[in-house]
Amino acid sequence: MFVDATILFQIAGIGIITALIHTVLKQVGKEDIAQFVSLVGFIIVLVIVIQHLADLFQQIKSVFLLQGF
Amino acid sequence: MDMIQLVLVSMVAALLYIILKDIQPTFAFLILLLTSALIILVVIKQIQIILQLLQAIGERASIDATYIHTILKIIGIAYVTELGANITKDAGLASVASKLELAGKIFIILLAIPIITAVIDVVIQFIPTNTNHLP
């Protein structure tokens, strides 16, 4: 059984890079673009996480026979 | 070795969470969510094996399949409710988590209604009805 831990590092990397870009853009003075970058990074990570969550809930539904819920 | 791997994954997740907690709290929360999902995705395959064993034992004891399925559904609802409540509690929404647990309990009772009625029917059959001796 292989647990894919690379995705954790991936998300942490995206988070750190986004924080870096956010700080740099804030220093330059473009606060609106900084907020936008943060939002886009969050959405990218959210897509990855949501795929895994959907997979998890499908598995739970199939294992525990929760088809009607 | 699966257990060691899971422990290491959770430790890595804890480290990354501590790093990200101050600079990007939303990303830290997503790491929390993803780690829970990863660990349960590993465990759920083992849970499936255990539940198949349970179903096989039930079939061998000629227990009605609907009862076994109801019990499986109750266990599933309990697991899912606990997962959601813990994650909501970690995000700082303790009141929402307690409401979620209440909802889980209510759904469990709702699923157990057929079993409860079956038990009550059996008990009523045991009670002798002496309506003929009434004046």
**Domain span holding position A12:** 8-63
Pick among A4, A11, A39, A51 to test the B interface (most B CBs inside 10 A): A11
Position A2 in a domain: no
The chain-wide mean pLDDT, for chain B, equals 89
Q: Which among B84, B85, B72, B77 is positioned nearest to B108, based on CA atoms?
A: B77
pLDDT the model gives residue B133: 60
CA nearest to A46 within chain B: B30
Q: How far is CA B103 from CA B4, B80, B91, B100, in A?
A: 35, 11, 19, 5
- Give the amino acid at B104: G
> Tokens representing B83?
């997962």
What's the pLDDT score for residue B134?
56
Q: What is the pTM of this model?
A: 0.81
For residues B70 and A68, what is the distance between their CA atoms, to the nearest angstrom?
12
Contact of B39 with A51, CB cutoff 8 Å: no
Which residues of chain B make contact with A61, given a CB cutoff of 8 A?
76
CA–CA gap between residue B94 and residue B89 (Å, rounded): 5
Give contacts of B 79-108 with A, CB under 8 A.
79-80, 107
Count Cβ atoms below 10 Å from residue A50 Cβ, excluding itself. Answer: 14
The total domain count for chain A is 1
Rounded Cα distance between A47 and B97, Å, is 24
Query: What whole-number distance in Å separates Cα of residue B32 and Cα of residue A58?
Result: 20
Q: Are B19 and A12 in contact (CB under 8 A)?
A: yes
At residue A68, the pLDDT reads: 65
Flag if B27 and A45 touch (Cβ within 8 Å). yes
Question: Phi first, then psi: what are they for A65, rounded to 5°?
Answer: 60, 35
pLDDT in tens for each of the 69 residues of chain A? 567 788 889 889 999 999 999 999 999 888 899 999 999 999 999 999 999 999 999 988 888 877 765
B58-104 per-position pLDDT tens digit: 999 988 888 888 888 999 999 999 999 999 999 999 999 999 999 99
